[in-house]
């Protein structure tokens, strides 16, 4: 209680309420020509409505996809899977895009 009052005295206003937790909206998979969407989704392990995975977990998904399907990418040409959260608009729901640039 004292800390809150001290914080009010220093800042002059109550602390801001934390933002709503971001959730997965749509999962967009682009670039896969040979690999089925369900195989990519199995590695992603995120479905609409769940909390958005952390940046660390998204990197782990990229690594899992690269290790499992490494022969399908032009790694020397800089083509490998990437996973990103698209943060647009005011909604708590965020789309997750998986770029899967197969040869």
pLDDT tens digits for range 46-81? 999 999 999 999 999 999 999 999 999 999 999 999
pLDDT band at 44 (very low <50, low <70, confident <90, very high): very high
Q: CATH code at 93?
A: 3.10.20.310
Per-residue burial over 55-89, b if 16 or more Cβ lie within 10 Å, else e, is eeebeebbeebeeebeebbeeeeebbbbbebeeee
Q: What's the rounded Cα separation, in Å, for the pair 88 and 93?
A: 9
Residue 9: inside a domain = no
pTM of the model: 0.78
Residue 64: inside a domain = yes
- Compute CA distances 73 → 65, 78, 87, whole Å: 10, 9, 27
Q: Do residues 96 and 28 make contact, with C-beta atoms less than 8 angstroms apart? A: yes
**Total number of domains constituting the chain:** 1
Comparing C-alpha atoms, which of 58, 53, 47, 61 is closest to residue 21? 53
């Amino acid at each position: 209680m004292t800390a809150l009052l001290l914080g009010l005295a220093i800042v002059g206003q109550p602390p801001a309420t934390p933002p709503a937790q971001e959730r997965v909206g749509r999962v967009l998979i682009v670039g896969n020509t040979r690999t089925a969407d369900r195989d990519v989704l199995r590695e992603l392990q995120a479905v609409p409505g769940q909390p958005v995975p952390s940046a660390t977990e998204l990197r782990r998904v990229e690594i899992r996809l690269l290790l499992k399907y490494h022969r399908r990418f032009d790694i020397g040409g800089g083509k490998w899977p990437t996973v990103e959260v698209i943060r647009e608009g005011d909604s708590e729901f965020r789309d997750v895009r998986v770029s899967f640039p197969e040869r």
